[in-house]
Amino acid sequence: MGKRAAARTERAESELALPSLRLVEAALNGEVEVVEESLAAAIAGASREVVVDVNYIGTVNLRVKCAEVVLGEERADEVRIGYEEFRTDVSALFSAAHSGHAEVVRKLLSAGADVNQEFFRGYAITAAAREGHCNILGMLLKAGVSQSACEDALLEASLCGEAEAVQLLIQSEMVRADAAAHALVTASSRGFLDVVAVLIENGVDINRFDRVLLRSIKPTLHANVDCTPLVAAIVSKQNSIVKYLLEAGASTACLIQVGAWSWDPISGEEMRVGVCLGEPYNALWCAVEFYEASGEILKLLLHHCPFLLEDPYLGRTVLCHAILCQNSNAIKVLLDLGANSKFPLRTKQGHESYPIHLAARIGNVFILKQLISHGCDVNAKTSAGETPLMVSAKADHAECFLELVLAGADLGLLSHTGSSAIELAERSAFSSSIVDIFSQVLYTGATIHSSNPRVFSPLHFIAGSGRAEPLQMILNSSAGELNKLDHSGLTPVMVAAIGGHLESFRLLVMAGADLTVRSSDGNTIMSILQYESIASSKDYFEKVLLDGVLGNVISNAPFKALHYAARKGDASSTVQLLKMGYNANSLDENGYSPLMLSAMEGHSDLCKILLVHGSADLELINGRKETALSLARCSSRSNKVTEDLLLDHVARFHVLVGEELCKHTREGRGNPHMKAVRMLKSGVLSWGKTNRRNVACKEAAAGPSLNFVKNWRKDSGHNKAEIFRVVTVKGREVHFEASCVSVMEIWVRGINLITKEANSGVT
């Protein structure tokens, strides 16, 4: 029974409310006659069965004006006016004010409608201000609207850009200063110039702070911020508003905390701390961080307050802030307007640096180029003696390092701690790419600059890298450091050799490297090639030196080219070197002649070339009492062919020169006597002037004949082992005795060799 009673009561109340709801709907639609009828019923009140409440709140569908802000990236935010459908609770007065039905509003006010009734969408005066119904707004102002309603309406009019409504409200003297300031900041952020003008002309404080929602895409910002109208306009990139505010006397000195960067004035360290958490700064710095694409806002601010360009704040200028924000467009505007790119950044601890150091540390190559093109010193030093090149290396910025080298940065400078740029780069994340960086520099035709080769030499460094292509490029452009010592006391060719870089070594040698230069510890390139670390490659390096000699690139060098060619069995090079006048009888540092070396290696063809074309001395004896023949006999690398060749040459030379031998007569029966014996190239053995003492030889043999043995007196004191016999072409046998067995063998070998040559026509 209770539920049914409640339902009946609800239906009764709904039926009673229908006339009032009808009034709301009639007011919304502007149905004046219906409104009049409803109001007449309201006046009649309880004397009639139908009761109408003039302040009844009913639910209707409203088409409400909406101002949507579309954010722009480095361009002005745009306000787009549109309409949205809402189902909401309103009164008849609100409906009429919203729809712009002035006659209905007048009648409702006459009937006692409440002008200060507040709804979700504001007051009736708010609706009139939002929709721009200024005649209705005026009526509501005269009807006793409250201050809070007026302030709400002012804000709504400012949001929607209704300048006339704003003027009516601000002139009503029903708006407090803080509400007016809020309206001004809001209108400034939205770019409503006419609204801003109305507010300022009516005495609103142009520099008053108010908390407003500021939004930005670049940089990202979405926060409620206490700011001035000027800052709100700058963040929203509203050029026309900024211009108007500046002309109207807006202050640029007010400090606003909207940035994301903070820096320690003591240490100079920068930190990205997040939006609205950075250091508070003035309007110009704000315009840099919230940059407008045309740069017009920056120009307006600097035109109005040019002193801000060089006005330092916490040891920095606005150019430094633009670099920190990595805004190259803002930097261009500032530089074009005369910003000092050499202005020193100072901390409270006394550290001093320059904008170019900041750009190098941040790692923005484009900004670095901008600063360089505007005359920044690429070798400027901080108070710690660090150059931008050193800073970029410490910060691991390879591209900045490259750009600075391209711009001519000096790699030969040292910081106060004694560090060079290349040392810092070798400890950086791009250490493995340093040679590639230098290669890129050389590809462009630029020069790798170093004022002090002892600190850094491009030629030494590239030589030590083993990269032939960049080395060739640097040699093509400049070879001034070809024979200079670096910080290690080495020449480039020494560096290449120690590193085992054969092709680099070749390029340096062929470029004319002086091989007589000594390192700081007294070593020559030849002594360096003896190092155990490169022993396995020594032959390859010496082959390069040989090529240099043959190409007339190397002269008067400690390299023994003929010795190397002889040892390696290089016949064609040996012949060429002999033609060039190289001495076949010179000894190397180990006491070997070229012939000795070729004999030890078993190069019989080389031995023959040296003997025939180089007049090599087979009898040459070194300090260890070694000859070419003795070395050939004891070397495991030699062979029988080489030994025989040398023996033939020794024997031939020996018998042609001749010596005193003991000649036996009458087949051993006569008295032996000494004779000067020698062999002629014609095959004649001579020991006197008569025909009998000049015999044409057929052959020679070791030992005496059988008849000689029979006739030989054993007590004569002669050694049979040292006797040899010569058989003439006529069958005669002549016996000679040598001083020892080895000499006897040489005479036999030499006589037979020349006899054979004579018989074959070889001379």
Residue 291 has pLDDT above 70, yes or no: yes
Radius of gyration, alpha carbons of the chain:
55
pLDDT (mean) for 681-699: 90
Residue 47 has pLDDT above 50, yes or no: no
Q: How many CA atoms lie within 13 A of 101 on its CB side?
A: 22
pLDDT (mean) for 233-244: 95
Helix spans in 571-716 (H)? 571-579, 594-601, 604-613, 628-634, 640-657, 706-711
For the chain, the domains span: 252-340, 342-452, 658-760
619-646 per-position pLDDT tens digit: 899 989 999 988 988 988 989 999 889 8
Residue 46 has pLDDT above 60, yes or no: no
CATH architecture of 252-340: Alpha Horseshoe (1.25)
Q: How many CA atoms lie within 13 A of 308 on its CB side?
A: 23
Q: What is the 3-state secondary structure (H, E, C) of 71-89?
A: CCCCCCCEEEEEEEEEEEE
Instruction: Name, in order, each residue with C-beta under 8 angstroms of 41's C-beta and a sequence gap of 6 or more.
Output: 19, 48, 50, 51, 52
Distance in angstroms (rounded) separating the CA atoms of residues 740 and 126: 140
Residue 12 has pLDDT above 50, yes or no: no
Note the pLDDT of residue 9: 46
The closest of 565, 650, 662 to 611, measured between CA atoms, is: 650
Residue 299: C-alpha distances to residues 27, 281, 478 (Å): 53, 18, 47
Q: Is the Cβ–Cβ distance between 462 and 508 less than 8 Å?
A: no
Tell me if 252-340 shares its fold with 342-452: yes
CA 632 to chain centre: 59
Percent over 70 (pLDDT), the chain: 94
Note the pLDDT of residue 11: 46
Q: Helix (H, G, I), strand (E, B), or coil: what is residue 622? A: coil
Look at the domain 342-452 and name its fold. 1.25.40
The closest of 227, 240, 166, 226 to 199, measured between CA atoms, is: 166
Note the pLDDT of residue 714: 64
Note the pLDDT of residue 2: 55
Structure tokens at 412: 């030969």
Q: Is the Cβ–Cβ distance between 707 and 666 less than 8 Å?
A: no
Note the pLDDT of residue 668: 76
Q: Count the Cβ atoms, other than its own, within 10 Å of residue 509.
A: 25
Note the pLDDT of residue 716: 58
Residue 421 has pLDDT above 80, yes or no: yes
Residue 340 has pLDDT above 50, yes or no: yes
Q: Count the Cβ atoms, other than its own, within 10 Å of residue 742.
A: 9
**Quick one: pLDDT band at residue 433, thresholds 50, 70, 90?**
very high
Note the pLDDT of residue 8: 46
pLDDT (mean) for 308-316: 84
The closest of 86, 79, 172 to 125, measured between CA atoms, is: 172
- The mean pLDDT of the chain is 88
735-754 per-position pLDDT tens digit: 898 988 888 999 999 999 99
Note the pLDDT of residue 726: 92
Note the pLDDT of residue 44: 63
Percent over 90 (pLDDT), the chain: 50
Residue 424 has pLDDT above 60, yes or no: yes
Distance in angstroms (rounded) separating the CA atoms of residues 743 and 719: 13
Q: Which residues of 639-657 are buried (b: 16+ CB within 10 A; e: fewer)?
A: eeebbebbbbbbbbebbee
Which one is predicted more confidently, 551 or 421?
421
Residue 3: C-alpha distances to residues 8, 11, 520, 691 (Å): 9, 12, 113, 171
Note the pLDDT of residue 138: 93
Helix spans in 483-560 (H)? 492-498, 502-510, 525-528, 538-550
Q: Is the Cβ–Cβ distance between 179 and 205 less than 8 Å?
A: no
Residue 198 has pLDDT above 60, yes or no: yes
208-234 per-position pLDDT tens digit: 999 999 999 888 889 999 999 999 999
The closest of 302, 304, 335 to 320, measured between CA atoms, is: 335
**Quick one: pLDDT band at residue 706, thresholds 50, 70, 90?**
confident
pLDDT (mean) for 128-143: 94
Q: Which residues is 17 bridged to in the sheet?
A: none
Distance in angstroms (rounded) separating the CA atoms of residues 573 and 445: 38
Note the pLDDT of residue 1: 45
The closest of 474, 423, 420, 430 to 451, measured between CA atoms, is: 420
Strand 684-686 to strand 673-679: parallel, antiparallel, or no bridges (unpaired)? antiparallel
486-534 per-position pLDDT tens digit: 888 899 999 999 989 999 989 998 988 888 889 888 888 888 888 877 8
Q: Check whether the bond before 219 is cis (ω within 30° of 0).
A: yes
Residue 268 has pLDDT above 70, yes or no: no
Distance in angstroms (rounded) separating the CA atoms of residues 242 and 176: 24
Distance in angstroms (rounded) separating the CA atoms of residues 114 and 117: 6
Residue 548 has pLDDT above 60, yes or no: yes
Residue 433: C-alpha distances to residues 11, 388, 390, 404, 422 (Å): 87, 19, 16, 15, 12
> Tell me: domain 658-760, CATH 2.30.29.30, correct?
yes
**Quick one: pLDDT band at residue 14, thresholds 50, 70, 90?**
low
Q: Which residues is 664 bridged to in the sheet?
A: 735
Q: Is the Cβ–Cβ distance between 195 and 157 less than 8 Å?
A: yes
Residue 390 has pLDDT above 90, yes or no: yes
